[in-house]
Amino acid sequence: MTPADLSLTVAHAVRRAVGDGDLAVRELPDRLTVERPRPGGLGDWATNAALQLAGPSGLPPREVAEVLRRRLLDAPGIARVDITGPGFLNLTLRPDARAGAGRLLVERVRREGLRYGYGDALAGLPEDRVHFRVAEGADPRVRALTAAVAALLRSQGAPARVGDGASHGGSHGAHPGGSRGAHPRAGRDGERGVRLHARPPHYDVAALPPDARQWALLRPAPHDRVLDAAPLLRQTESGNGLFTVQYAHARSAALVRNAADLGFGAACADDRRDAQPGAAYDAHPGTPELLAALGDHPAVLLAAARQHAPDRLARHLEALADAFLGFQHTVLPLGDEKPSAAHRSRLALAEATGTVLAGGLSLLGVSAPTRL
C-alpha cells in the first residue's frame, strides 16, 4: 500500500463513519494526509484525520480517532491501528502489504530515474518569488545557496531563474531569518527579484575541492556557519557527511557491477518459488529504514524548495546513505548461495537508492562518483 492508497483508505473510513451516523460532518476535508509517524509515534504511517474532523463533528479528537480506528482495522493491508497523542492514528501494515509498497516504491524510482521526487506543486508561484538576483560582490555562500534554491524550485515546477543585480547598500552576510527571511528587492535595472541571505564563510572556501566547497556551504542552515574544512577532506564516514553520501552512491554502483559478474541483475518482482513473502523488502535488517528514507524523498524535495532550504536535502541524503550502508550487506549472495529473486529485488532497491542519491547530489551541485 502506498501513501496515496492509505489516504483513500482513510477517506473511505471517514465516509463510512459519516454514513453510519457516527460522525455528524457536513463537508469532508479536501485532503486527508498520511505521512511518516512523528517522534513518539508508532507503526508505518500516521494521519491527523481525527484532529481535522474533531471541530466539524463536535467530538473530542480521540473519540473521533476511535470511531475511525474501528473502521480502519477492517481495511485490507492494515494489521494494527494505534491512537497516540491528542488523536493521531498510527497505521501498521501487514507484512505482505508492506512488501508490496516496497516493490511499488522501487518500481517508481526505477521508472522516474533522476527525476524521482520532482513535481509541479510550485508551478503557480508568481514571478517575484521565483526570480532570484545575486548582488555584485556577493560571497560564495550566497551564490551557492541561490543556485541550489533555484534548482530545487525548478524540480517542483517553478520557473526559477537567477540573474545578477547591483547592491543597494544592504548587507549580503548574516540575516536574522536566514534564507527564510529573503524578500524581493529591485535590481540595478529596476527588475524585482528575491535576494537570499546567509552567514558568510569564516575562511577561504575557494581552497576546497568543488564538491567539498558546495557541501561546506549548503549543508548547514543559512544562519549557521559553514562547515570547517578539515573533516570534509578526510576519506571517512565518521564526521564527513559528504563522503558518506558519495560512498553510499559508489557502493550502490559497485553492487550492480558485482551482481553482473555473478550473472544476475535487478528485478522488482518477488518470485514466491524461491523467496518468502516480504523477504526482499521487509525481513532483512535495515530494509524498512531504507524504504522509509526513499519514500520520504519527494516530500523532502518539496519542503526544501518551499523553505529555500537545501540544507534539508543534504541532511536527508545523509540519512538515506546511512540507511543504505546498513542494508547493503544483504544484497549479494554469500558463499555458495545461488542468486534468488530476493537478491534481485534487493539489488533493485540498492540501484534505486543510488539513483536517488545521485539526483539529490545533482540538485546541490555535487558529483556522484561511481568509484571511490
Query: Which CATH number do you get for residue 89?
Result: 3.30.1360.70
Q: Are residues 245 and 207 in the same domain?
A: no
Backbone angles phi, psi at 80, to 5 degrees: -155, 145
pLDDT of residue 43: 87
Statement to judge: residues 265 and 297 lie in one domain? yes
Domain hosting 219: range is 127-228
Q: Which residue has the higher pLDDT, 201 or 278?
A: 201
Same domain, 259 and 334: yes
Is residue 192 domain-shared with residue 247, that is, in the same domain?
no
Q: What's the CATH code of the domain at 302?
A: 1.10.730.10
User: Looking at 210, 228, 246, which one is the last position of a domain?
Assistant: 228
201, 77: one domain: no
CA 203 to chain centre: 31
Does 236 lie in the same domain as 145?
no
Assigned domain for 154 exists: yes
3-state secondary structure 128-196: HHCEEEEECCCCHHHHHHHHHHHHHHHHCCCCCEEEEECCCCCCCCCCCCHHHHCEEEECCCCCEEEEC
Same structural domain for residues 140 and 220? Answer: yes
Residue 101 lies in a domain: no
Residues 186 and 262 in one domain: no
Element (H, E) at 27: none
Residue tagged 484525520 (cell numbers): 49
Confidence of residue 182 (pLDDT cuts 50, 70, 90): low
- Distance between CA atoms of residues 112 and 97, nearest Å: 22
329 CB neighbour count, 10 Å cutoff: 11
Residue percentage of the chain with pLDDT more than 90: 64
Residue 282 has pLDDT above 90, yes or no: no
The pLDDT assigned to 276 comes to 45
pTM value is 0.77
Same-domain check for residues 76 and 193: no
